Structure 1
Amino acid sequence: MKSAQNTFALALSLGLAALATGCAGAPDDSQIVDLEHTRESEDAAGEEAVQDEAADETPTSVEEEFGSEYVYTDGLTVRLAGIERRVSGEWDSPENTPYVYFDIQFDNGTGGPVDLTYLSVYCQVGEEGRTAEDVYTDDTGSGFTSTVMDGRTATAGYGCALPEEESYLQVELTLSDWEDFDDEVRETVYFVGDVA
């Protein structure tokens, strides 16, 4: 019994030794893989990613002077036109109030329809930047109530109270697209300047 155990132990030892010797041999050329680190290709890939991110970024807000226009990244253009001082009439709201009238115009070059009903318009006046009251007349109406088709222009009149002693006006425009519930909000555009 003892010699059988010794024989088995010897056979096991020889088998393990042979296995270890076979594993310790050098690999042939087909087993060698080049794992050399290439820093240049990593740097180039990193730079491309940064450039792509910068190209995709759009500002959250922009400032434009009166008389200029702004083109959104999708090809929609907005401008303020026809800026002039007026006084509201007795049937307007509020009545007998000095205000500034202006048209907001959108030129649609996006390739598809754009819903303008979710345009928010806010005015600030004077050096202190006071929020101006909206003025409703026959000319100002109710703003944009529909969609502008590709290649077309849409115009709506707006009015903001502007005391005679003040000249500075800031008009804030934010156009959102909540119809598809995709939370698409274009950058806010501020038109600023003095009203004669």
Structure 2
Amino acid sequence: MKSFKPALSGLLFLLVAATGCAGAPDENQVVDLEPAQEAAGSPTEEEATEPDEEEAPSAVEEEFGSEYTYADGLTVRLAGVERRVSGEWDMPESAPYVYFDIQFDNGTDAPVDLTYLAVYCQVGEEGRTAEDVYTDDTGTGFTSAVMGGRTATAGYGCALPEDESYLQVELTLSDWEEVDDYVRETVYFVGDVV
């Protein structure tokens, strides 16, 4: 009985293989097909990969004293850039730093939450990350929303050695209240501090 099973399974295999080939088309029945024509108005592969001109940039660069307006009407500017030295009760104390104001003008009809603003400084030609400086003037940054048609201002400070002048301030504002966690384009304010 044991020797009968392998023979039966081999016979079944040959039967299935022969049946599968029986329906194969004859060589004379095979027809060459032309490639499908692209539908009129459909984008080509090259056009589909081109960025949309209406799409917002992921990052923009502005000089000190200028401003940037996002697509929804919110405007940001960096003003009041000046050298200072931190005091005895500041952190870190007795350190040279640069002070600046970040100001948002809300030209939209809705409140914009500013609490998710990330601020990073780089200084010098090598672009070293600068330490934050906390004083009475710099405080804790933005702690709430700016209402439609209103302006909000907060002071910030970054360590800036006396022998360095170049400063880059990176601002990224995220609207985490939105369902898709919208992140606005990053704005870089750059320039020399005298």
Name the TM-score, length of structure 1 as normaliser. 0.74
SS at match of 2:163: coil
| Partner residue of 2:155 out of 154, 157, 181 | 157
Q: Report how far residue 110 of structure 1 moved.
A: 1.6
Q: Report how far residue 180 of structure 1 moved.
A: 3.5
CA distance in 2, matches of 1:132, 1:42: 55
Q: Report how far residue 89 of structure 1 moved.
A: 0.1
Counterpart mapping for 1:1-196 below 5 A: 42-43=40-41, 46=43, 54-196=52-194
CA distance in 1, matches of 2:120, 2:72: 23
State the partner residue of 1:23: none
Larger Cα Rg: Structure 1 or Structure 2?
1
Moved over 3 A (4+): none
SS at match of 1:163: coil
SS at match of 1:54: coil
Name the TM-score, length of structure 2 as normaliser. 0.75
Q: Report how far residue 177 of structure 1 moved.
A: 1.1
Instruction: Point out the more displaced range, 112-121 or 173-182.
Output: 173-182
SS at match of 2:52: helix
Q: CA RMSD in A?
A: 2.2
CA offsets 1:44-74 (integer angstroms, 9 cap, x no match): x759x97xx7244111000001111000011
Structure 1, unmatched stretches of 5+, are 1-38
State the partner residue of 1:6: none
Give the letter aligned to residue 148 of structure 1.
Answer: V
When you count helix as a share of all residues, which structure comes out higher? 1
Structure 2, unmatched stretches of 5+, are 1-37
CA offsets 1:151-189 (integer angstroms, 9 cap, x no match): 100000000000000000000000001133421000000
